[in-house]
Amino acid sequence: MIEISPNHPRYWSLVIRERLVKGFEEGYVVPQGLIAHGRGECFDYLLGEVTIPPALKAIRAAAATLLISKYPVISVNGNAAALVPGEIVRLAKLVGAKIEVNLFHRTRSRELKIVEVLRSYGADEVLGVEGDDLTTIPEIFSERRKVSLRGIYRADTVLVPLEDGDRAEALRKLGKTVIAIDLNPLSRTSRAASITIVDNIVRALPKLVEEVESLKKFNVNELRRIVTEYNNEEVLKEVINYILDRLYILSKELRLTT
């Protein structure tokens, strides 16, 4: 790992990259995960690298959904394990969710390393690893189809940070509520999910934890109302309009520095 000065104008962005590179060097982030992060960074630039108001709406709906779910599961891949392991464990404990490793590029060695990372942050149990009772969801056309009978298979709500497309659609078809975190508001995952948080996972997960903590005092009817009033299509349109407005303003203000 390189030493990054906190005075560097892109300090946080570089720190986040280093977390992924460390995960890659330790063998649980795939090279494709580094490419996926680059795509995410590009969208994050368009958002201004902040959590925008439509994302806050989605975070609130996601928190309420997790609190009223009977069997929530948090799905974890290599990038999520590298970027937000502590927040995943904290959120799981707060809402009583199971944590399941579910990989697109599945290998036994990666699974075990991700379990080890999550355990080092306090996870008691991590599902989805070979040896656990796994089954297959035939509607999913990738290694992600292997899921735990005590996890994603049984879940009423699945949180899927950093997806790759077909799974969100398949999980919806199976009647599950899908909460996605994806910086790309145009992705298939974003459009297929029940609730899409268009934000960087490193900002979204701590905010989701905070929101769960503050909504915990709400009763079930109040939480249900937050969920029913939420409209994902509208929120995705708001995100796109936010980006359009921002680009329009930037196009007027742009000055080249010398």
* Smallest distance from ligand PTJ to CB 96, Å: 24
Question: Residues 239 to 258: which contact ligand PTJ by CB under 6 A?
Answer: none
* Smallest distance from ligand PTJ to CB 257, Å: 28
Interaction between residue 187 and ligand PTJ (CB under 6 A) = yes
Size of the site for ligand PTJ (CB under 6 A): 26
Which window, 52-60, 87-95, 119-127, 163-171, contacts ligand PTJ (CB under 6 A)? 163-171
Interaction between residue 151 and ligand PTJ (CB under 6 A) = no
Interaction between residue 158 and ligand PTJ (CB under 6 A) = no
Query: How many angstroms separate the CA atoms of 253 and 36, rounded?
Result: 30
* 113 contacts 78 by C-beta, under 8 angstroms: no
Among residues 65, 79, 177, 232, the one that binds ligand PTJ under rule CB under 6 A: 79
Among residues 181, 209, 227, 239, the one that binds ligand PTJ under rule CB under 6 A: 181
Which window, 27-35, 59-67, 133-141, 220-228, contacts ligand PTJ (CB under 6 A)? 27-35
* Smallest distance from ligand PTJ to CB 187, Å: 4
* Smallest distance from ligand PTJ to CB 212, Å: 19
Interaction between residue 201 and ligand PTJ (CB under 6 A) = yes
Which window, 1-9, 31-39, 53-61, 236-244, contacts ligand PTJ (CB under 6 A)? 31-39
Residue facing ligand PTJ at closest CB distance:
40
Listed residue (149, 146, 144) closest to 165, CA to CA? 144
In the bound state with ligand PTJ, the residue whose beta carbon lies nearer, of 68 and 117, is 117
* 92 contacts 123 by C-beta, under 8 angstroms: yes
In the bound state with ligand PTJ, the residue whose beta carbon lies nearer, of 65 and 79, is 79
Please spell the DSSP secondary structure of the chain, one letter per residue: -----TTSTTHHHHHHHHHHHHHHHTTSS-HHHHHHHHHHHHHHHHHTSS--HHHHHHHHHHHHHHHH-SSEEEEE-HHHHHH-HHHHHHHHHHHT-EEEE--SS--HHHHHHHHHHHHHTT-S--B-SBTB-EEE-TT--SGGGEEETTTTTT-SEEEEES--SHHHHHHHHTT-EEEEE-S-TTSHHHHHSSEEE-S-HHHHHHHHHHHHHHHTTS-HHHHHHHHHH--HHHHHHHHHHHHHHHHHHHHHH-----
Q: Which residues bind ligand PTJ (CB under 6 A)?
A: 30, 32-33, 36-37, 39-40, 43, 77-79, 83, 103-105, 162-165, 181-184, 187, 200-201
